[in-house]
A and B are shown apart, each in its own frame.
Chain A
Amino acid sequence: MTAGEIDADELVASKVWDHSLFQRLLEFVHPHKRLFAACFTVLSLLFAAELLGTWIWRGVLDGPVLAAQEATDKGPYLHELYGWVGGYVALLAGMTVLRYHETALLNRTGQAVVHDLRVRVFQHIQRLDLRFFDGRPTGALVTRVTSDIENLSELFTSGVIVLVFDVIKVIVLLAYLFFLDVNLAWVTVLTVPLLIGVSLAFRGGARTAHREVRARLARLNGYLQEVLSGVRVVQVFRREERVSARFRDALDQYFQANKRTIFLFALFFPAMSLAVYIVQGAALWVGVKAITGQTLTYGQFFQYWLVLTMLVRPIRDLGERYNILQSAFASAERIFQVLDTRGRVHEAQHPRVPPRTSRPPHIRFEDVRFEYVPGTPVLKGVTFDIPPGRTVAVVGATGAGKSTLVNLLLRFYDVDAGRITLDGIDVREMALSELRGRFGLVLQEGFLFAGSVRDNLVMERAEVDDDALAEALATANAADLVERLEGGLEARVAERGATFSTGERQLLAIARALAGRPDLVVLDEATAAVDSATEARIEAATRRLLTGRSALVIAHRLSTIRDADEILVMHLGEIRERGTHDELLARGGLYARLHALQFEEAEVA
């Protein structure tokens, strides 16, 4: 992360409590009500047990111990003591078990909520249209699903539940003190705000100081990284000294930022203990007076002391909880930002499902204009037809707009102007999944999907039964590929597709497309070179794929181009030339030159 990114992330939410965000988070809490209830139960029981423990101490000190002071026969008092201790030990045993559950349950609750949230965010992002992904580095999106979510889990574990409970604890304990002894209670209530004040006052400074340190550190490490990548330049230019001096400066800044943080912390701990001493001192004053005045027993004061210890802990942690909450809400805000994003490619209000006839569809691009980035048009008014059953091949240099045609046809993006029709129906009016399902699709990228070979070929299409699959494999010249695998169709495919070579993957991709018995094909030919034997098989399979179907092909193979019914030569977003292979060659224009370049070269190499 660069320093800039860190700063931005930290600055998103300066609120420690965002009610609207919290409401939305509650939605995810709902399904796990029982877990939350369990957490509260455990925490309550622990609290009650701790309080009970302090009461036992008072019972012992004011009971057998006090009475035994003047007595001669210690026996009965010792017995009473054993009774108390027995009870205490039982209580402690119970508390130990409860403490285990406290940690385990809180953690489990947080993780449960977070899992749901994570899956939801993933699903949401996945279905957004491609434009969302443009201009957003993949890394940033991944963070939403990983570290931002993890941050949120803290909210639910050491954050909200514990914080709420801490507040309840403090209130209950203070109230209890009034039952114990009114004077002590008052003195405590008056001095405890000092403690709270120190805890909260420090918190703000600490965050700023930490942020500063992190930013300086990021800068430092960034410079280090930079110098390492350019070390050759540094050495050849003999700039070692200069670069070291720069590093020293950055180090110094980092050190200064650290000093500020250390100063704050060095101040915080003594300040807290001083505040605690003040509370204790005041209590001592009042307590001793009361003890000597016989209005307070020793045992009562002892119990008070123990309750005070219980009180101080949550207050000391207040500052830290505050920070956790803030950082968690920042993450929540980022996450909900994503969840609130809507795609631009919308499903039509009343999607139409054009019936499949015996005739392959007629595709038309009508004066289509499109730009990925405003101001940089990629398609500048493209018009062409794919008559039923015909193959249209598109060629052209990189950046000419070829793949954009595919993107628009598949509705990964919508056109800026003009329209694309399928049998006269605008593709925007069709159900998205219907549209995409209509295509026999062969994209350049190979397999992505883990699973069996069958899964990859069938792709959960209900209409692809075993016969259709077998037929497709045969037509695509890919049947033997599957047969030679152990397990055949049920064999697992390595996720990166390492089970098959590049060429073989292309054949399987064709089989996959064929399995759906499409009448429409989009083929984006891979440019990777394959051995001539596989090449021949791919050529044949491609030919069979395209026969009798309407097809848009981004072609790189000479054979594919030659066989196409029409070739569109694209250049900088426009169709420069069109015609059959022979017609274009005869014309001796752009196509002829491209042809010579690409295919003569291939022969030479």
Chain B
Amino acid sequence: MVLLWQFFQRFLRYRATLGFGLLCIPLAQLADVAVTILIGNALERARLADSSEWMNKVILWLAVYALVQGVFRFYQRWLIVVVSRQVEVGLKQDLFDKLVRLPFAFHDRSRSGDVVSRLTSDVEAVRMVLGPGLMYTLGALVIIPISLVILFQIHATLALVMVLPMFAMGLTMKLVSPRLERYSLAVQESVADISHRAQENFAGVRVVQGYRRENQQAALFESTSRINRDNQVTLGEARGVTHAAINGSFEMTFAVILLLGGMAAIDRTMPVGAIFKFIDLTIKVFWPLIAIGWVLGMLPRAQASAQRIDELMREANPIEDPDSKSGSTATSGAATIAPIQGRITFEDVSFQYPRGNRPALAHISFDVPVGSTLGIVGPTGSGKTTILNLVGRLFDTTSGRVLLDGVPVRELPLSQVRGALGYVPQDSFLFSERYEDNIRFGAEHELTDAEIDALIELAAMTEEVARFPEGKATVVGERGVTLSGGQRQRTCIARALARAPRVLILDDCLSAVDTETERQLLHSLSAAGEGRTVLVAAHRLSSVRDADQILVLSADGRPEAIGTHRDLIAAGGWYADTWERQQRRESLGIRDSLVDEGPLVPGQETTAEAEARR
């Protein structure tokens, strides 16, 4: 509850609007009640009177109350719900800002679905209760007491007794709730089962048809569907009980009014017209009562959601600027001034991922002078990407130091470290925006058209971009043009180059490019960046052949060898063997499965593609 209150504080930022909105509620309810009283009195008067000129005034008052009620009901919803949406938006923004700055260790260990749900369904659950939920609750808390008070004044006993069926309803709801939950879950599960079975069958249709299993599978599906149907029926029956209970108690109240009200009317202890007021107010109170039940039902979910959101907000960020940490400003004074040259040193670096059960890297040391190129190769999982992650300080080392220009990266401002790097990731990640915007993403300052074209040229993409529907202004990704693996990789290189980095980091990003283009690219890269340090991790040894140094990693993250291409060939071992094998492959035009272009439509692979890949 405390948490929910804290979230409510956000609502208080808009207290003026909220206040007005909340004020509208009782006013609207009062007007509504006033209408009932008005009509009740009019009817009573009519019963006893002979003429009806007084009706004009009554109608006039009715119109007034109706308008008042209409206006206030409009504003109540307009003000309160809009505020709740504003809070939602603010909360989402804060969460997003937080998420984007959290270190990669967090993102590595969390599932994106889980994180996204906190920003979506959890925020919604909290908003629903604190916004509309509050509105409905307040409305109910106004109309119910007012009505009861009025009715109490007319006939105390009746007012008290008619409340009893409501308790019966509340009790029934409480009893049925856990069952409803259970049955709901059962239905959810059986729906998932149906989905799963359909998925399996459609994805494996070749096997089903090949082995002539259509009938059997259809029978299985039928029984799964039948289970779902039965679960739904059970749920429906439970809902039936709820429905009957709610309406039943409502109608029981009517019966009470008929009996006691009738008795009182016969005994003349209550005017006949008062019965109308009892009935009409009962009708008006019905929905607010249901609403309270509904809000109470949502409360546990909202509390759980509030907890999850809070958890996210509290995530610590250990990789921070040394400047922002208290007490260590003294050592960082010198480092903030000089621009990065680009010398990279690893001093006996070891690293283990927070979730890993063995070290990813062990005792890695090397020195890359300014302007030289280091190739990093090794079998899958040997830690090539990890080394690159450490250079950009996406993680901190477990032991040993990473130095940039002789200064430990931990002592340099994060922005400076990252500002000097151009990073080309393994998964060739691009945003679903315009092609040129993806390249601009890399640059620190505004790029001119000419500069963008130059970058595209560097990445050997000029011809292909010219063939896009709108050239470089074409949108890429899900809603636009789909790029092949090789095209994506080259675009990422252009993006990295856009910031004219001192250090260029290439993470196995030439795998989908054929050897010719690769050679072209590497050549233009080295030509364009004099004095630029380059780190290249690669599967294909041809990518690192011309590097100044090549670091060979063993399968368990240890340094196996380091030297030039010639040195390593001469020395034999993993490098030499792999080189030979890869050369032969090339000559046959055979592509390693790691090296395929992959499906053209990202996301879901169709059966034809799965076929073709085999």
Residues facing B in A562-605 (CB within 8 A) are 590, 593-594, 596-597, 601, 604
CB closest residue in chain B, given A142: B198
Interface size class of A (residues with CB under 8 A): 35 or more
CB closest residue in chain A, given B75: A266
| Interchain CB contact under 8 A, A436 and B220 | no
B232 within 8 Å of A by Cβ?
Answer: yes
B596 within 8 Å of A by Cβ?
Answer: yes
| Interchain CB contact under 8 A, B202 and A138 | yes
Residues facing A in B475-494 (CB within 8 A) are 478-479
Give chain A residues whose Cβ lies under 8 Å from the Cβ of B240. Answer: 99-104, 107
Select A244's contact among B49, B96, B225, B596, beta carbons within 8 Å: B96
B55 within 8 Å of A by Cβ?
Answer: yes
Report the Cα distance A236→B392, complex, angstroms: 7
B109 within 8 Å of A by Cβ?
Answer: no
Report the Cα distance A236→B425, complex, angstroms: 10
Residues facing B in A113-145 (CB within 8 A) are 114-115, 118-119, 122-123, 125-127, 130, 133-139, 141-142, 145
A273 within 8 Å of B by Cβ?
Answer: yes
Report the Cα distance A427→B209, complex, angstroms: 16
Binds A, one of B9-17, B267-275, B325-333, B532-540: B267-275
| Interchain CB contact under 8 A, B55 and A288 | yes
| Interchain CB contact under 8 A, B100 and A251 | no
Closest chain-B Cβ to A545's Cβ sits at a distance in Å of: 16
| Interchain CB contact under 8 A, B47 and A224 | no
A52 within 8 Å of B by Cβ?
Answer: no
Give chain B residues whose Cβ lies under 8 Å from the Cβ of A448. Answer: 200, 204, 207-208, 213
B517 within 8 Å of A by Cβ?
Answer: no
CB closest residue in chain B, given A247: B96
Secondary structure at the B interface, as helix, strand, loop or mixed, is helix
Binds B, one of A77-85, A188-196, A329-337, A476-484: A77-85
CB closest residue in chain A, given B264: A65
Given contacts A99-B240, A107-B232, A397-B590, contact A126 B217 (CB under 8 A): yes
Give chain A residues whose Cβ lies under 8 Å from the Cβ of B112. Answer: 225, 228-229
Report the Cα distance A601→B580, complex, angstroms: 11
Give chain B residues whose Cβ lies under 8 Å from the Cβ of A305. Answer: 276, 279-280
Give chain A residues whose Cβ lies under 8 Å from the Cβ of B233. Answer: 104, 107-108, 111
A148-164 interface mask toward B, CB cutoff 8 Å, 1 = contact, 0 = none? 00100000000000000
| Interchain CB contact under 8 A, A107 and B43 | no
Report the Cα distance A32→B600, complex, angstroms: 47
| Interchain CB contact under 8 A, B593 and A398 | yes
Binds B, one of A9-17, A439-447, A486-494: A439-447
Closest chain-A Cβ to B440's Cβ sits at a distance in Å of: 10
Select B229's contact among A103, A111, A145, beta carbons within 8 Å: A111
Given contacts A111-B229, A224-B96, contact A145 B198 (CB under 8 A): yes
Give chain B residues whose Cβ lies under 8 Å from the Cβ of A225. Answer: 112, 116
Give chain B residues whose Cβ lies under 8 Å from the Cβ of A460. Answer: 215-216
Closest chain-A Cβ to B61's Cβ sits at a distance in Å of: 10
Give chain B residues whose Cβ lies under 8 Å from the Cβ of A74. Answer: 266-267
| Interchain CB contact under 8 A, B225 and A137 | no
Select A146's contact among B35, B46, B194, B604, beta carbons within 8 Å: B194
| Interchain CB contact under 8 A, B46 and A291 | yes
A46-89 interface mask toward B, CB cutoff 8 Å, 1 = contact, 0 = none? 00000001001100110011101100001001100110110011
| Interchain CB contact under 8 A, B603 and A137 | yes
A167 within 8 Å of B by Cβ?
Answer: no
Give chain B residues whose Cβ lies under 8 Å from the Cβ of A262. Answer: 77-78, 81-82, 85
| Interchain CB contact under 8 A, A137 and B606 | yes
| Interchain CB contact under 8 A, B263 and A78 | yes
Select A443's contact among B104, B210, B275, B604, beta carbons within 8 Å: B210
| Interchain CB contact under 8 A, B266 and A231 | no
Given contacts A141-B202, A225-B116, contact A277 B66 (CB under 8 A): yes
Give chain A residues whose Cβ lies under 8 Å from the Cβ of B194. Answer: 118, 145-146
| Interchain CB contact under 8 A, B216 and A449 | yes
| Interchain CB contact under 8 A, B107 and A231 | yes
B199 within 8 Å of A by Cβ?
Answer: yes
B80-107 interface mask toward A, CB cutoff 8 Å, 1 = contact, 0 = none? 0110011001001100110111001001
A30 within 8 Å of B by Cβ?
Answer: no
Report the Cα distance A437→B212, complex, angstroms: 8
Closest chain-A Cβ to B85's Cβ sits at a distance in Å of: 5
Give chain B residues whose Cβ lies under 8 Å from the Cβ of A138. Answer: 199, 202-203, 604, 606-607
Secondary structure at the A interface, as helix, strand, loop or mixed, is helix
Select A133's contact among B205, B232, B258, B429, beta carbons within 8 Å: B205
Give chain A residues whose Cβ lies under 8 Å from the Cβ of B589. Answer: 397
Give chain A residues whose Cβ lies under 8 Å from the Cβ of B89. Answer: 251-252, 254-255
CB closest residue in chain A, given B42: A288
Report the Cα distance A305→B42, complex, angstroms: 14
| Interchain CB contact under 8 A, B207 and A99 | no
Report the Cα distance A551→B337, complex, angstroms: 75
B15-36 interface mask toward A, CB cutoff 8 Å, 1 = contact, 0 = none? 0000000000000000000010
B183-212 interface mask toward A, CB cutoff 8 Å, 1 = contact, 0 = none? 000000001001100111111111111111
Residues facing B in A178-231 (CB within 8 A) are 221-222, 224-231
| Interchain CB contact under 8 A, B198 and A221 | no
B182 within 8 Å of A by Cβ?
Answer: no
Given contacts A104-B237, A298-B47, A436-B212, contact A244 B97 (CB under 8 A): yes
Report the Cα distance A391→B403, complex, angstroms: 63
Give chain B residues whose Cβ lies under 8 Å from the Cβ of A135. Answer: 606, 608
Report the Cα distance A103→B242, complex, angstroms: 9
| Interchain CB contact under 8 A, B66 and A139 | no
Report the Cα distance A305→B203, complex, angstroms: 60
Give chain A residues whose Cβ lies under 8 Å from the Cβ of B50. Answer: 292
Report the Cα distance A332→B203, complex, angstroms: 24
| Interchain CB contact under 8 A, B613 and A281 | no
B357 within 8 Å of A by Cβ?
Answer: no
Give chain B residues whose Cβ lies under 8 Å from the Cβ of A281. Answer: 59, 62-63, 66
Report the Cα distance A433→B212, complex, angstroms: 7
Select B232's contact among A66, A111, A122, A450, beta carbons within 8 Å: A111
| Interchain CB contact under 8 A, A65 and B255 | no
| Interchain CB contact under 8 A, A372 and B611 | yes
Select A445's contact among B63, B204, B585, beta carbons within 8 Å: B204
Give chain B residues whose Cβ lies under 8 Å from the Cβ of A298. Answer: 43, 46-47, 272-273
| Interchain CB contact under 8 A, A292 and B49 | yes
Report the Cα distance A235→B393, complex, angstroms: 10
Report the Cα distance A273→B73, complex, angstroms: 10
Report the Cα distance A490→B104, complex, angstroms: 51
| Interchain CB contact under 8 A, A85 and B115 | no
| Interchain CB contact under 8 A, A97 and B244 | yes
| Interchain CB contact under 8 A, B604 and A403 | no
Given contacts A57-B258, A111-B232, contact A459 B283 (CB under 8 A): no
A323 within 8 Å of B by Cβ?
Answer: no
Closest chain-A Cβ to B270's Cβ sits at a distance in Å of: 10
Report the Cα distance A82→B78, complex, angstroms: 48
Give chain A residues whose Cβ lies under 8 Å from the Cβ of B591. Answer: 397-398
| Interchain CB contact under 8 A, B82 and A104 | no
A391-402 interface mask toward B, CB cutoff 8 Å, 1 = contact, 0 = none? 000000111001
Binds A, one of B367-375, B415-423, B464-472, B548-556: B415-423
Known: A99-B244, A145-B194. 19 other contacts (CB 8 A): A68-B267, A69-B268, A92-B248, A96-B247, A104-B239, A126-B214, A138-B202, A141-B198, A142-B199, A239-B441, A270-B74, A281-B66, A284-B39, A284-B42, A285-B55, A291-B46, A292-B46, A373-B608, A399-B613
Closest 7 CB pairs of A and B: A107-B236, A137-B604, A134-B608, A104-B240, A103-B240, A270-B70, A96-B248
Cross-chain pairs A/B with CB under 8 angstroms, 30 sampled: A4-B479, A77-B266, A81-B266, A82-B259, A92-B248, A99-B243, A100-B244, A103-B243, A103-B244, A115-B226, A115-B229, A122-B221, A126-B201, A138-B203, A138-B607, A222-B478, A238-B418, A240-B97, A251-B92, A255-B86, A258-B82, A266-B73, A273-B73, A277-B35, A287-B43, A309-B283, A372-B612, A436-B210, A450-B220, A593-B588
